[in-house]
Amino acid sequence: MSSHIARVGAVVEPGRDDQPDRLAVSAQLFADLVDGTRLRVTRGTMGAGMPRQGIAAIWKRYSGPPLPDDPDQRDRALENYRVTRQDVEDAINQLLGRDPEQHRPPRLSWEPLIELLAGHSITVTDDDLIALPFTFEFSDQLLAELGS
């Protein structure tokens, strides 16, 4: 019954992490129905945490300016890399199994949305939701933290 759903997405906000060198994010899933209604999961948020800076902040692939050819300059540039919106999107896409280039977790994070939709007589599977258009809605606070 995914024909009742226009798109799905996630509202992404800062999460809680007491470590200043790490960025924590939480996301709540939603479905926009074709009639304009938005169904938003109010429990069971999914979360991700990542370093704010350095090569470990790159979730899937580097997406910054071209890297220098010189190995020392390249290492310095990667040490100064700051986590981006793309890194956060990549982390959430992995939790949802939306990116075939990333490892697919054995249990995806769609269950709270599937349950919410079932309560509105809409039956869908993980794969149905993965196939739908998806949008990210980042809070202003998170965009400010990301420097976006």
DSSP for 79-123 reads HT-B--HHHHHHHHHHHHT--TTSPPPSS-TTHHHHHHHHTTT--
The answer to whether residue 43 is domain-embedded is: yes
SS3 label, residue 23: strand
The answer to whether residue 78 is domain-embedded is: no
Question: How do the pLDDT tens digits run along the chain, 148 residues long?
Answer: 668 999 999 999 999 877 889 999 999 999 999 999 999 999 867 999 999 999 999 999 998 899 999 999 999 999 999 999 999 999 999 999 999 888 888 889 999 999 999 999 999 999 999 999 999 999 999 999 998 6
- Whole-model pTM above 0.75? yes
pLDDT at 43: 80
The answer to whether residue 62 is domain-embedded is: no
Q: Which residues contact 105 (CB under 8 A, 6 or more apart)?
A: 94, 95, 97
Buried b (16+ CB within 10 A) or exposed e, 2-32: bebbbebbbbbbbbeeeeeebbebbbbbbbb
Helix (H) or strand (E) holding 24, with range, is strand 22-33
The answer to whether residue 36 is domain-embedded is: yes
The answer to whether residue 77 is domain-embedded is: no
The total of structural domains in the chain comes to 1
pLDDT at 148: 63
The answer to whether residue 57 is domain-embedded is: no
The answer to whether residue 111 is domain-embedded is: yes
The answer to whether residue 10 is domain-embedded is: yes
d(CA 49, CA 26): 9
pLDDT at 63: 84
Domain holding 30, by residue range, is 2-52+84-146
